[in-house]
Amino acid sequence: MEAGKSNKSERRSVAAWRVLLNKLDGGELSVLEFCRREGISPASVYRRRKDFNDFAATEKSGQGQSAEQTANKTAGCFVELGALNTTPPPRPRFDLKLDLGDGLTLHLVRS
């Protein structure tokens, strides 16, 4: 793979897309030439541009959206969840002893 080219399965962050679009807008290359050089599809560039333009228009018009909705729209509806833990968290040990008198003791344990 050439330097500067990315793996197709790579996910770019919102910040990385902003940097790419700023490079494209500030340069002299056409979208196709830029995409070939950066190893990205033109459809992705057009989609991200639209997402960012829609986001900017929403902000300017004052149409309120929650921060989560805005972030999801800008990020192309991908949300980083991190590693998912499939095992339940350990419950704390519960140990109770009751002296009932006359030598009788009730002992309850949850582990």
14/21 Cα distance (integer angstroms): 11
Residue 84 lies in a domain: no
Residue 54 lies in a domain: yes
Question: Which residues neighbour 5 within 8 Å (Cβ) at sequence distance 6 or greater?
Answer: 38, 39
Q: How many domains does one find in the chain?
A: 1
Q: What is the pTM of this model?
A: 0.44
Residue 67 lies in a domain: yes
What confidence tens digit (pLDDT) does each residue in 83-97 have?
766 777 778 888 889
Is 94 in a helix, a strand, or coil?
A: strand
Residue 98 lies in a domain: no
Residue 9 lies in a domain: no
What confidence tens digit (pLDDT) does each residue in 71-82 have?
555 555 556 666
Tell me the residue range of the domain where 30 lies: 14-74
Instruction: Give me the chain's average pLDDT, please.
Output: 76
55/43 Cα distance (integer angstroms): 18
Phi/psi region, residue 35 (left: phi>0; alpha: psi -120 to 50; beta: rest), is alpha
